[in-house]
């Protein structure tokens, strides 16, 4: 079969669609009291940095989640941008059950077949130079391990990251995170530097014709880092799409230029593909879009389809030097067999069912639909993204790009009430942005369903100006 071929109109992977007559609502928590559970939320749950939603979610299946009150919602964020194949995929469920019963958790120095199979399958799908992998639990943990690896390999300690980044909340990961969560704990890791965010919509770096001059911005950022550095630059870490910052895609050529900057300074390049990896952006990994091979690649979220699984992948040469220098990242759940088996199954399904191609095709349909909405509603200032990853920025005025966070909240709440969940990025570091990242098993019907619900949300929200 030729690459890029879509084998069927929708890819059928057991997902629920709006056109199916059978009720696939999970029965696990079908008789619960929303009000009683809501009271327990405020009584017993610690607020760890987010406002809890009022609705209690009692079921998830395919592309939908179900509330205690029976509300069915199209999940256009794949949980926490993680359920790549949708909720409750039958083959993933079977893999979990089989390994929970027979091969779940081992001593961290033991090796098991699912870990070996995942390592082989993953490395065979990546470009040469990404040949050695180990597996952890979270994205923050994998980035922590990657930065420590870069420091051990280079013998240096300074790390460069990008404004608006989100790499995790462990010590080094948070120190390289210029978005949220840095306050209240005293000094962070020493030697951390920040590049300007590549925000094509809002950057002040402009050419004479008004177009975004990311080259000048990047060079200027590095000039400041060179002045601030103590001469111990170890690595730069970057996302191909800055999701938490509002779905900002690196401009064409940016990643290659960033790698060149690193090479000139004898630094390593780490690419964090927590959300973009395993097909979401229309390539198996987003680095393939520009054929750039980082020194270290980290994966998480999508690799485990919602289970805690992450990966650090690098070269044999970096591993050799790291071993000589006593690199250690030994955790309780390193290379655990059960999550590894799930990751291996996820990769198998993605390749077998042509889901990278499906993400590319459904992504085109999604972005065409969002562009139509932008042409119809004045408050949509920008639509951006790649593949099945999209951001819709809500503004008060297109000319000034003034934020409209209250209006964005109103649209997002209306969309949820109508039956589609698109996460609203509303932190003060940027204006209100709907983040959309549905499972890559999504069908044409489900893309159109979600677009229709979003259209209705914009059309029925007070304060939204129609252009037609």
Q: Pick the catalytic residue from 213, 239, 295, 336.
A: 239
- pLDDT surpasses 70 at 12: no
Interval 105-131 mean pLDDT? 97
Interval 397-425 mean pLDDT? 92
> What length is written for the chain?
468
Is residue 435 flagged as an active site residue?
yes
CATH 3.20.20.70 fits 103-352, yes or no: no
Contact 349, 355 (CB under 8 A): yes
Instruction: Give the fold, CATH level 3, of 34-89+354-460.
Output: 3.90.1150
Grade residue 98 by pLDDT with cuts at 50, 70 and 90.
Answer: very high
Interval 381-398 mean pLDDT? 97
- pLDDT surpasses 80 at 72: yes
Grade residue 429 by pLDDT with cuts at 50, 70 and 90.
Answer: low
> Residue 49: what pLDDT?
81
> Which distant-in-sequence residues (6+ apart) come within 8 Å of 420 by Cβ?
73, 74, 76, 449, 450, 453, 454, 457
- pLDDT surpasses 80 at 426: no
Rounded to 5 degrees, what angle do the CA atoms 282, 440, 249 make? 45
> Residue 24: what pLDDT?
67
Worst-scoring range by mean pLDDT, 142-146, 207-211, 271-275, 423-427? 423-427
Q: Pick the catalytic residue from 141, 435, 446, 449.
A: 435
Is residue 166 flagged as an active site residue?
yes
CA distance 227 to 78: 42
Is residue 239 flagged as an active site residue?
yes
> Residue 18: what pLDDT?
39
DSSP sequence for 267-292: -EEEEE-TTTTTTTTSSSSGGGGTT-
Q: Pick the catalytic residue from 275, 374, 405, 446.
A: 275
DSSP bridge pairs for 158: 233
Grade residue 6 by pLDDT with cuts at 50, 70 and 90.
Answer: very low
Rounded to 5 degrees, what angle do the CA atoms 306, 21, 449 make? 60
> Residue 11: what pLDDT?
37
Share of the chain above pLDDT 70, in %: 93
Averaged confidence pLDDT in the chain: 92
Residue 327 CB-half CA count within 13 A: 20
CA distance 336 to 137: 9
- pLDDT surpasses 90 at 79: yes
Grade residue 423 by pLDDT with cuts at 50, 70 and 90.
Answer: confident
DSSP bridge pairs for 434: 392, 424
Pairing mode of beta strands 72-75, 310-314: unpaired
Q: How far is CA 115 from CA 111, 127, 140, 264, 374, in A?
A: 7, 20, 20, 36, 45
CA distance 263 to 236: 10
Share of the chain above pLDDT 90, in %: 85
Is residue 272 flagged as an active site residue?
yes
CA distance 233 to 157: 6
> Residue 30: what pLDDT?
82
3-state secondary structure 307-336: CCCEEEEECHHHHHHHHHCCCCCCCCCCCC
Is residue 275 flagged as an active site residue?
yes
Looking at per-residue pLDDT, the higher value among 402 and 51 belongs to 402
CA distance 176 to 169: 10
CA Rg value for the chain? 22
Grade residue 454 by pLDDT with cuts at 50, 70 and 90.
Answer: very high
Rounded to 5 degrees, what angle do the CA atoms 188, 256, 164 make? 35
- pLDDT surpasses 60 at 242: yes
Ordered strands of the 296-299 beta sheet: 132-136, 310-314, 296-299, 268-272, 233-239, 158-162, 192-195
The model's pLDDT over 304-361, given as tens digits with 9 standing for 90+, comes to 999 999 999 999 999 999 999 999 999 999 999 999 999 999 999 999 999 999 999 9
> Residue 8: what pLDDT?
33
Q: How far is CA 95 from CA 11, 36, 86, 282, in A?
A: 21, 34, 15, 26
DSSP sequence for 116-157: HHHHHHHHHHS-TT--EEEEES-HHHHHHHHHHHHHHHHS--
The model's pLDDT over 14-55, given as tens digits with 9 standing for 90+, comes to 334 333 334 567 888 988 899 999 999 999 999 888 788 889
Contact 427, 337 (CB under 8 A): no
> Residue 15: what pLDDT?
39
Helical H segments across 176-294, by residue range: 214-228, 254-264
Q: Pick the catalytic residue from 158, 213, 272, 353.
A: 272
Contact 34, 62 (CB under 8 A): no
- pLDDT surpasses 50 at 392: yes
CA neighbor of 143 nearest in space, from 175, 111, 121: 175
CA neighbor of 199 nearest in space, from 225, 164, 239: 164
Q: Pick the catalytic residue from 61, 156, 301, 345.
A: 301
The domain spans of the chain are 34-89+354-460, 103-352
Q: End-to-end CA distance of the chain: give it in Å, rounded.
A: 44
Interval 171-182 mean pLDDT? 90
Looking at per-residue pLDDT, the higher value among 21 and 111 belongs to 111
CA neighbor of 11 nearest in space, from 276, 285, 361, 304: 361
């Amino acid at each position: 079969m030729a690459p890029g071929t879509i084998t069927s109109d929708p890819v059928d992977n057991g997902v629920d669609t709006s056109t199916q007559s059978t009720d696939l609502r999970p029965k696990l928590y079908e008789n619960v009291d929303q009000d009683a559970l809501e009271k327990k939320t405020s009584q017993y749950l610690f607020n760890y940095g987010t406002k809890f939603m009022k609705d209690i979610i009692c079921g998830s299946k395919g592309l939908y989640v179900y509330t205690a009150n029976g509300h069915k919602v199209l999940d256009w964020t794949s949980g926490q941008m993680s359920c790549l194949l949708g909720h409750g995929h039958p083959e993933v469920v079977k893999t979990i059950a089989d390994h929970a019963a027979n091969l779940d958790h081992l001593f961290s120095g033991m090796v098991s077949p699912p870990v070996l199979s995942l390592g082989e399958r993953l490395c065979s799908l990546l470009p040469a130079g990404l040949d050695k992998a180990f597996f952890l639990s979270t994205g923050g943990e994998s980035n922590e391990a990657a930065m420590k690896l870069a420091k051990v390999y280079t013998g240096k300690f300074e790390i460069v990251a990008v404004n608006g980044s989100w790499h995790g909340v462990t010590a080094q990961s948070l120190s390289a995170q210029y978005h949220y969560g840095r306050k209240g704990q005293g000094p962070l890791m020493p030697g951390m530097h920040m590049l300007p965010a590549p925000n094509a919509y809002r950057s002040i770096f402009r050419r004479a014709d008004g177009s975004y001059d990311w080259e000048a911005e990047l060079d200027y950022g590095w000039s400041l880092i060179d002045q601030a550095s103590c001469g111990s630059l170890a690595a730069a870490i970057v996302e191909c799409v800055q999701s938490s910052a509002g779905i900002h895609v690196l401009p064409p050529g940016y990643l290659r230029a960033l790698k060149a900057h690193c090479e000139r300074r004898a630094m390593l390049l780490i690419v964090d593909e927590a959300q973009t990896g395993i097909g979401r952006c229309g390539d198996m990994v987003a680095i393939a879009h520009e054929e750039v091979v980082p020194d270290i690649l980290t994966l998480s979220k999508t690799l485990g389809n919602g289970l805690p699984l992450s990966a650090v992948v690098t070269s044999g040469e970096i591993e050799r030097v790291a071993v000589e220098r006593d690199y250690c990242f030994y955790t309780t759940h390193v290379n655990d067999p059960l999550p590894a088996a799930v990751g291996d199954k996820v990769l198998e399904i993605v390749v077998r069912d042509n889901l990278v191609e499906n993400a590319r095709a459904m992504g085109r349909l999604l972005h065409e639909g969002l562009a139509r909405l932008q042409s119809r509603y004045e408050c949509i200032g920008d639509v951006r993204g790649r593949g099945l990853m999209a951001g819709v920025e809500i503004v008060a005025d297109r000319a000034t790009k003034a934020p409209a966070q209250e209006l964005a909240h109103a649209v997002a709440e209306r969309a949820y009430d109508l039956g589609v969940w698109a996460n609203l990025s509303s932190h003060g570091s940027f204006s209100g942005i709907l983040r959309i990242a549905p499972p890559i098993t999504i069908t044409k019907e489900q893309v159109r369903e979600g677009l229709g619900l979003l259209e209705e949300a914009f059309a029925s929200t007070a304060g939204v100006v129609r252009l037609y």
